[in-house]
Amino acid sequence: MAAASKPVRVVLVPLVFFLCAFLVSCSDDDDDDQPGPEGLTEVVQPLPLPGPYEVACSNVTQDFTRLEADEDVTNYWEGLPADEDTGRYVTDLLADPDNTLTVTVTAPQDSDLYGGFAGQEVEFVVLVCYPTTGDNPRPGYPLNPPQTDVVVPHMQTGPEEPLFADESVRYPVVAFSHGYMGSPITDDYFYAVSVLASHGYVVIAPFHGDLRFSNLMIEDLDDALAVASNLENFTAMQALRPLSITAALDLVLAHPQWEGHLDETQIGGFGASMGGETMLLLGGAGLTTSFFDLGSSWEQITLDERILAAVGYVPYFGQPVLPAFGQDQDGLEGLDLPFLGISGTADTTAPITEAEEGISRLAGTRRLVALSGVTHEFDEEWAGDIFTWTLTFLDAEVRGDQEAIDRFSTMGSVEGGVDDRVVLD
Task: Tell me the per-residue pLDDT of 95-105, one tens digit each, with 9 for 90 and over.
Answer: 999 999 999 99
pLDDT tens-place string over residues 296-308: 789 999 999 999 9
Bridge-based pairing state of the strands 318-319 and 298-300: unpaired
Strands (E) across 186-226 are located at: 202-206
Instruction: Provide mean pLDDT across the span 105-116.
Output: 92
- Cα dist from 362 to 245, 340, 386, 403, 423, whole Å: 21, 11, 21, 25, 15
CA 244 to the chain's CA centroid: 12
Cα separation, 224 vs 212, in Å, equals: 17
CB of 123 closer than 8 Å to CB of 90 = no
- Cα dist from 239 to 29, 39, 244, 366, 391, whole Å: 28, 38, 9, 23, 27
Cα separation, 57 vs 150, in Å, equals: 13
Cα separation, 359 vs 339, in Å, equals: 8
What is the Cα gyration radius of the chain?
A: 20
Q: Which domains does the chain have, with CATH numbers?
A: 38-424 (3.40.50.1820)
pLDDT tens-place string over residues 313-336: 999 999 888 899 999 999 999 999
The dihedral through the CA atoms of 35, 38, 42, 44 has a sign that is negative
Cα separation, 167 vs 64, in Å, equals: 34
| DSSP bridge pairs for 128 | 204
Residue 191 DSSP one-character state: H
Q: Which amino acid is at 192?
A: A
Higher pLDDT, 293 or 191: 191
Instruction: Provide mean pLDDT across the span 381-395.
Output: 97
- Cα dist from 19 to 92, 181, 206, 323, 324, whole Å: 34, 19, 29, 12, 13
Cα separation, 369 vs 356, in Å, equals: 10
What is residue 197's predicted lDDT score, i.e. its pLDDT?
Answer: 98
